[in-house]
Structure 1
Amino acid sequence: MSLADEKASAVQSESGFNPKRFCEEVVAEMKKVSWSSRRELLVNTGVVGVAVVIVCALIWVCDTVFARLFQLLLR
């Protein structure tokens, strides 16, 4: 058997979906994940919350200013 035939047969045997192997690989990858501590999670959630409030306030201010400008222009 030639080298190309060996590679082709190896690819064919690995190409099928194996649910058990998939689950084993998922578990192995999840063990590699670096999880945040509870404190880091709460701090980062707070930062995101504050950022959302600031962006909402900026959008509200811009919307109000543009609405007033258009009201003045359309009079």
Structure 2
Amino acid sequence: MVKKTPNLETATELRRVTHGYYGDPKGYEEILYRTRNNRYVLLQRGGAESPYSEEKITQILKVKAQEWLDSL
């Protein structure tokens, strides 16, 4: 089964959190989106030495999205 990647170009950005500065090898950002069909997607990406050296796109439940927002 092939996982379908959500279209983030048409999604609404709800919150962006940046750790570090642009070009920081340890820096990263996390962006929460809501898609047109009311699904939540968390995009995590960062520098080579960050926890997200490879881009990670995860569909999450609304309750998990709220927990992520509340943890900020």
TM-score (norm 1): 0.18
Which has more strand, going by share of residues?
2
Q: Answer 1 or 2: higher relative contact order, Cα 8 Å, separation at least 6.
A: 2
Q: Pick the structure with greater CA Rg.
A: 1
